[in-house]
Amino acid sequence: MQSPNVTIEAAALRNNLAVVRRFAPGARVIAAVKANAYGHGLIHAARALADADAFGVARVDEGLRLRAAGMAHPIVVLEGVFGADQLDAAAAHELQLVVHSFEQIAMLEQYAGTYRFAVWLKLDTGMNRLGFRSEEFETAHARLAGCAAVTTLRLLTHLASAENAGGLETKLQLDRFRALCGSLRLERSIANSAAIIAWPDAHGEWVRPGLMLYGASPFAERSAADLGLLPAMTFATQVIAVRNVGQGEAIGYNGIWRAKRRTRIAVAAVGYGDGYPRCMHAGAPALINGREVSVVGRVSMDMTMLDATELPNVAVGDEVTLWGKGLPAERVASFADTIAYELFCRVAERVRREENL
Ligand SMILES: Cc1ncc(COP(=O)(O)O)c(C=O)c1O
């Protein structure tokens, strides 16, 4: 085994897509594979998710990579084009474009090519990131509806807090969306993973799961396992040294952690150079041969120390799981003040990848 390594299970991705379909029966699925499929590997993940109805990427170049790999699905570019110079490539590869600004509308109005784009008009219903605000919607809609470069027009919005089940912010966003476009006979897409599970009202014709496809739960109080999701990524390494330290001895850089008792330290071959966050707090869980241990001291570039006092037989070569099978990334993420999304995306290129079909 070369350490550290990351294993991506295609079977888990397929299982999780089936879970999406159970929660949102009747809706078509745009599988979010942006950001290298949340660090899972764009092409491998897309192939495993070939049953999806479409793929969602953030940027045109991600769509082009999917096409270069032979993916023929509809591809939705969730941030649309960043400049008119991207329209030709988007047209040549039949990418569907989210349109969230008047600048993007102007680009389409001035487009001289013969291709006709499928466009998703994005509404800002409260996230205040991308999209047309309520007062801009009518103009934006009229201009796109009358734009020669546009064929199919659909509607899209993004929810800021859908993981807060029953939360007022989401109710408000859904109300705004309905008030603006409830009377239009256009297909809609609203729901991310959390909304697919917690807001059936938000399903519309198309749902856009990301996180749940990768097997993580969007909710603090509901585990992925409870939702039927399987972790697609397992990040693992091995123990490369074991030592015993006495009570009061300091471990690692800056001596930020001191042993309160005689402690057995297992040194794992993983560090922030591999994407394991340097800010990981002491106490963060990891598994050695399936048994839970905790991080101690400062994570270094290539190594992390684990308190293995309870494992008398721990030895060089033992397998260490940082997250994945047996240890949800959501749980680990909280010890680095982040979310599973970011942990997945951080895994460095230097980490060896294995893709199980
Ligand atoms: C516009 C858009 N749609 C869908 C998603 C998928 O969201 P999630 O990973 O929470 O399911 C994202 C992710 O950030 C997004 O930005």
Ligand 1 centroid to residue 297 C-alpha, Å:
34
Protein residue with least CA distance to atom 6, ligand 1:
210
Tell me the percentage of the chain whose pLDDT exceeds 90: 98
pLDDT tens digit sequence for 214-271: 999 999 999 999 999 999 999 999 999 999 999 999 999 999 999 999 999 999 999 9
With a cut of 90, say whether residue 182 has pLDDT above it.
no
Check pocket membership of 158 for ligand 1, CB cut-off 6 A: yes
Give the span between the Cα atoms of 303 and 133, in whole angstroms.
48
32 CA: nearest ligand 1 atom = 6
Distance, in Å, from the CA atom of 157 to the CA atom of 126, rounded to the nearest integer, reads 9
38 is catalytic: no
Q: Nearest residue CA, atom 8 of ligand 1? A: 210
Give the pLDDT score at 357.
Answer: 83
Section 76-90 average pLDDT:
98
How far apart (Å, rounded) are the C-alpha atoms in residues 208 and 268? 37
Residue 95 has pLDDT above 80, yes or no: yes
**pLDDT band of 103, cuts 50, 70, 90:** very high
Q: Is 253 a catalytic residue?
A: yes
Q: What is the pLDDT of residue 2?
A: 81
Query: How far, in Å, from the CA of 32 to the mean position of ligand 1?
Result: 7
CB atoms within 10 A of CB 215: 30
DSSP secondary structure letters along 323-341: EBTTB-HHHHHHTTTS-HH
From residue 116, alpha-carbon distances to 40, 67, 81, 93, 136 in Å are 32, 18, 15, 12, 24
Average pLDDT, the chain: 97
Q: What is the mean pLDDT of residues 24-38?
A: 98
- Is the CB–ligand 1 distance for residue 16 below 6 Å? no
pLDDT value at 158 more than 80: yes
Output the pLDDT for position 208.
98
Closest residue to atom 2 of ligand 1, CA basis:
158
Minimum-distance ligand 1 atom for the alpha carbon of 196: 11
Ligand 1 contact via 210 beta carbon (within 6 Å): yes
The CA 349 to ligand 1 mean position distance, Å, reads 23
User: Does residue 211 line the site of ligand 1, with CB under 6 A?
Assistant: yes
Decide whether any atom of ligand 1 lies within 6 Å of the 192 Cβ: yes
Report which ligand 1 atom has the smallest distance to the Cα of 158.
1
Query: Measured from the CB, is residue 320 less than 6 Å from ligand 1?
Result: no
Residue nearest to atom 14 of ligand 1 (CA): 210
Confidence class for position 1, pLDDT limits 50, 70, 90 = low
pLDDT in tens, 311-342: 999 999 999 999 999 999 999 999 999 999 99
Distance (angstroms) between ligand 1 centre and the Cα of 191 equals: 8
- Sequence-distant (6+) residues with CB within 8 A of 6 are 233, 234, 235, 236, 347, 351, 352, 353, 354
